[in-house]
Amino acid sequence: MSTASRIAIVTGGSRGIGRAVASRLAAAGQDVAVVYASNAKEADAAVGEIEAAGARGIALRADVADEGEVAAAFDAVEQRLGPVDVVVNAAGVMALRPIRELDLTELDRQLRVNVRGTFVVAKVAARRIRPGGAIVAFSTSVTRLHLPAYGAYAASKGAVEALVPILAKELGERDITVNAVAPGPTATELFFDGKSQQLIDRIAGLSPMNRLGTPQDIAELVTFLAGPGRWVNGQTVFANGAAA
């Protein structure tokens, strides 16, 4: 199967890394469905970028942790675009606080979106994606950086890293690759939220390149894994400019 002219679903595709991924996949020739949680305006803007790249795009609202809503999103994509070849689960939430101070409701939210959401999307994708397709999940380089205040977030992403190689072995007979991308500090709204400029500069300095990653940096890697990178499978690939 050509890795262009594919049909992709990108969860969390209305902003940040997910939006950059959706645009980059479109530039590579893939039609893209943007799945978003609440911001319809940004999702529509993301679809505009997909169409500007010459691909078809649609926006769909779904809670990634709700199996019925995720299945309904797949139904809509199949009806409006065609059978799904690529699923990129970029949806995620992050609450930063030392472990001793973290409210358990914040822990539960991160586990619901980052762990259950990843599992649900993977489960539905495993049933619906066409042979020769690709699934890309998201971890984080914080699982190696061990930064204070990231305990709950890193723990949730550690679960993603455990899931990926197992699913890759389960789907190997259908020639479906499954990988995770683990970005380092990346210049997104999610990253900047609540951080002082001093802290941002210190984190950027963790990389010998002395900068933050960009959503486009990560999108290039995802596009490789979702396209020509057929012999990379069951891996967590770190994209952090040597910050970890």
Catalytic positions, written as ranges: 153
Q: Which of 139, 232, 124 is nearest to 184 (CA)?
A: 139
Residue 158 and residue 139: Cα distance in Å, rounded?
Answer: 7
Q: Which of 123, 140, 219, 218 is nearest to 178 (CA)?
A: 123
Torsion (CA) 118, 157, 60, 222 in degrees, nearest 10: -100
As a whole number of Å, the CA-based R_g of the chain is: 17
CB 177 within 8 A of CB 134: yes
Beta strands in 5-51 (DSSP E): 7-11, 31-36
Three-state secondary-structure class, residue 96:
coil
Beta strands in 161-244 (DSSP E): 177-183, 236-239
